[in-house]
A and B are shown apart, each in its own frame.
Chain A
Amino acid sequence: DTGVSQDPRHKITKRGQNVTFRCDPISEHNRLYWYRQTLGQGPEFLTYFQNEAQLEKSRLLSDRFSAERPKGSFSTLEIQRTEQGDSAMYLCASSLVTEYFNEQFFGPGTRLTVL
């Protein structure tokens, strides 16, 4: 499969625990995005990377959230001290910017449930 992949697909955790998700973008894509989607809503932007540089973070991304893309390839999203309100689908997307904008391809998402 040459598309965007995410791991794990599902994560159940207890409140207060830390979780980490991984995203592997399409190999030649230079931009990587994280979105969060709650039930019945559209995806909401969290952050994005141009290669290894994190260029923008949403106000939704509290201090408990951190994202990295250390070598400009895969990315991780960590949530510390999880809260029930963190329960959502976390979507990763990637794009290859060759003009002023290009299509974002989404991964299957990681569904987080915080008990």
Chain B
Amino acid sequence: GENVEQHPSTLSVQEGDSAVIKCTYSDSASNYFPWYKQELGKRPQLIIDIRSNVGEKKDQRIAVTLNKTAKHFSLHITETQPEDSAVYFCAAIPFGNEKLTFGTGTRLTIIP
């Protein structure tokens, strides 16, 4: 089955700086890669996703890049703000499958 690794497990950045979180996946059939943000005690919420026919996707301060050859994808947050502090999870899902396989999460702390 799919295995997703995520790094780093914790990340602290100064407000206004950029944050990058990286994930690798094992199943070459995976073709959908969402990123979820989970604040303390709250539900995971999708913040951005990318499909395998696209190399990069951007939504305001958030961007995701995908390298299918290397089987890794990354989340980029620019101009970080205190409300970006949360745990971020990457996930992958192979075509025809239904279960999301999540990474272990990255706790992002924005230092004011």
A104 to B102, CA, bound (A): 13
B93 to chain A, nearest CB (A): 6
Q: Which of B38-46, B59-67, B72-80 faces chain A?
A: B38-46
Q: Identify which of A35, A45, A48, A100 contacts B95 (C-beta below 8 A).
A: A100
Say yes or no for A33: interface residue by CB 8 A criterion.
yes
- Interchain CB contact under 8 A, A33 and B102: no
- Secondary structure at chain A's binding surface: helix, strand, loop or mixed? loop
21 A-B interface contacts by CB (under 8 A): A4-B43, A33-B98, A35-B100, A40-B104, A42-B4, A42-B6, A42-B91, A42-B104, A43-B89, A43-B102, A48-B98, A48-B99, A58-B99, A101-B93, A103-B49, A104-B46, A104-B100, A106-B45, A107-B43, A108-B42, A109-B43
Q: Give A residues with C-beta under 8 Å from B.
A: 4, 31, 33, 35, 40-45, 48, 55-56, 58, 91, 100-101, 103-109
